[in-house]
Amino acid sequence: MDRIIISDLRVRCIVGINDEERREKQDVTINISIYGDFTKPGRSDRFEDAVDYRAIKKRVLSMVESSKYFLLEALAETVADICLEDRRIEKVEVRVDKPAALRFARSVGVEILRDRKS
C-alpha cells in the first residue's frame, strides 16, 4: 500500500482535563500517514487523480484550532475521520503529541490506526 506522510503539523488548541489546560491553547504536533493505492496519480501525473493533502491539512488545522477536546485520543479520532472522508484513502495513521503534558518528558502522544472497516 502506498503512503502520503504529513509530518510535524504544529497547531494550538484547547486539550486536557485540568482547569489551566481548559483556559489556554497549547501546542500539539500532528503526524498523519495516509494509505491507499496511488498508482493512478503516479502514472497520470494529474492533480485530479491525486489525494489533495493540502486540503486535508487545511481541514485538520481548522478543526483542531477550534476544538476543545479533553483527550488526545478524541482529537486523533476526529483527524482520522477527516482523512477517511476521501474515498481513495483506505487507511490512516494519526499521531498527536502534546509537548507540555508531562514534566521531564519531551512529549506525550497518542497514535491510532483506522481504516474503512473501523
Q: Which residues are catalytic?
A: 98
R_g of the chain computed on alpha carbons: 15
CA nearest neighbour of 28 among 37, 16, 18: 16
Show the CA angle centred on residue 84, arms to residues 79 and 90, nearest 5°: 130
User: Which residues pair with residue 113 across a beta bridge?
Assistant: 93
CB 38 within 8 A of CB 2: yes
Q: In whole angstroms, what is the distance from residue 111 CA to residue 45 CA?
A: 32
- C-alpha grid cell, residue 13: 488548541
Q: How far apart are CA 21 and CA 12, in angstroms?
A: 12
